[in-house]
Amino acid sequence: MVRALVPLLLAAAGSRPAPVIREDATAAPPPDVVRLATADDVASLCRALVPAERLRSAGDAVQRGEAEDRHDADRDRAIVRRYQVLIPAARIAFAPYDPGTHRLGLSYRSELRAADGALRVWTVAERGLPVEVSAEGARRIVAARTAGRLVLDVVFDLPDDATCGGVPRTRRWALPMDPVSWAYRDGDVILARGGAGDDRPLLTARDGARPRIDVGEPISGALAAREAVAAHRDALEACYAAALRRDPGLDGVIVFDLAPGKADPVADSVGDPALAGCAREALAGAGVERAAVPVRFTLEPPGAKPAGGR
């Protein structure tokens, strides 16, 4: 019932446009993401991507046919999976920052190598992997790159006809990728996001944006549930502050399904499991009989009025 009412979130949470809601693990899980971290990871994927007609299977005609059929199934599974690579700063080069559009992207001279250098990837779309970031944020990215701490974290799909290039005996491969999302990281801190994460705010907590929490009217259940949730604002603010130390650009809406002793996040556009878990614990004692209440986690420009007029 709650998920059927999620489209009403916009009206329940206020007049500002609500982000697209991503269901959490209680619904259909997102595609598995396979990290390509080592040469063995890459070798395994590249073997699976070899077209069946290129195989040199042993055995008679029946055995070869069965081997090709099994390989085709393995290849189909490999193609539809989603992958992640972490690309260190060494060969990352940036194109000039565009102050008008607040965009920072990679130079064509960048060589994107992952898995300890075993894999070179290139993009079939979103060339340059641009991010929208303030000038100060761009300076932080460049500084992290200069210090050798920057890592480009890319989640991608494979083109339907993807195969690996390179010479296997050298343990070096090349692979096309269709980027889904990407982030520039300085250690554990995310400096900027792009792709599926580019709806994050341009002005982050590190740039002086102020965290704000708004509790919307219940999507279902008694109106009093809103006040019961708002009474735990201090705990929610502490959860949000901790999350922003990990990722200073987090914002979005979480809908909580409340009942005595529990507060389950049933829809989440923030995408930070630790924040959702912390908020769930904070609201478990809200004492609500049964209701679904949206909580908006927002980054406001410096000087904006605090939530609740505080």
| pLDDT tens track for 200-245 | 555 677 767 789 999 999 998 888 999 999 999 999 999 999 999 8
Q: 298: how many CB neighbours lie within 10 A of its CB?
A: 20
Task: Tell me whether residue 58 is in a domain.
Answer: no
- Please tell me the number of Cα atoms within 13 Å of 88 on its side-chain side: 11
Whether residues 108 and 180 fall in one domain? yes
Q: Are 256 and 266 in contact (CB under 8 A)?
A: yes
Task: Tell me whether residue 25 is in a domain.
Answer: no
Identity of residue 244: L
Burial 160-192 (b: 16+ CB within 10 A, else e): eebbbebeeeebbbebbbebbbbbbbbeeebbb
Domain end position, chosen among 164, 195, 226: 195
Whole-angstrom Cα distance, residue 236 to residue 149? Answer: 32
Whether residues 217 and 177 fall in one domain? no
Whether residues 90 and 160 fall in one domain? yes
Q: Are 192 and 102 in contact (CB under 8 A)?
A: no
Q: 152: how many CB neighbours lie within 10 A of its CB?
A: 22
Domain end position, chosen among 143, 164, 195: 195
Indicate the pTM of the whole model.
Answer: 0.58
Task: Tell me whether residue 167 is in a domain.
Answer: yes
Whole-angstrom Cα distance, residue 81 to residue 159? Answer: 11
Whether residues 130 and 41 fall in one domain? yes
Q: What are the pLDDT digits (tens) for 134-191?
A: 898 899 999 999 999 999 999 999 998 899 987 777 889 999 999 988 989 998 788 8
Whether residues 172 and 212 fall in one domain? no
Strand intervals (E) in 105-224: 112-114, 119-123, 131-132, 150-157, 165-167, 172-186, 189-195, 210-215, 220-221
Whether residues 245 and 166 fall in one domain? no
Task: Tell me whether residue 254 is in a domain.
Answer: yes
Whether residues 283 and 222 fall in one domain? yes
Q: Can you give the C-alpha Rg of the chain in angstroms?
A: 23
Q: In 3D, which of 83, 217, 66, 209 has the Cα closest to residue 134?
A: 209
Task: Tell me whether residue 28 is in a domain.
Answer: no
Q: What are the pLDDT digits (tens) for 80-130?
A: 889 999 999 888 899 999 999 889 999 988 889 999 999 999 887 767 999
Whether residues 180 and 231 fall in one domain? no
Whole-angstrom Cα distance, residue 121 to residue 174? Answer: 6
Q: 122: how many CB neighbours lie within 10 A of its CB?
A: 13
Q: Percent of the chain having pLDDT more than 90?
A: 42
Whether residues 94 and 239 fall in one domain? no
pLDDT for position 198: 52
Whether residues 42 and 96 fall in one domain? yes
Show the domain range for 45: 33-49+81-195
- Phi–psi pair at 268, nearest 5 degrees: -150, 115
Task: Tell me whether residue 189 is in a domain.
Answer: yes
Strands 172-186 vs 119-123: parallel, antiparallel or unpaired: parallel
Whether residues 40 and 172 fall in one domain? yes
Report the domain count for the chain.
2
CA angle 205, 183, 267 (to 5 degrees): 70
Whether residues 178 and 237 fall in one domain? no
Identity of residue 255: V
Task: Tell me whether residue 113 is in a domain.
Answer: yes
Whole-angstrom Cα distance, residue 55 to residue 57? Answer: 6
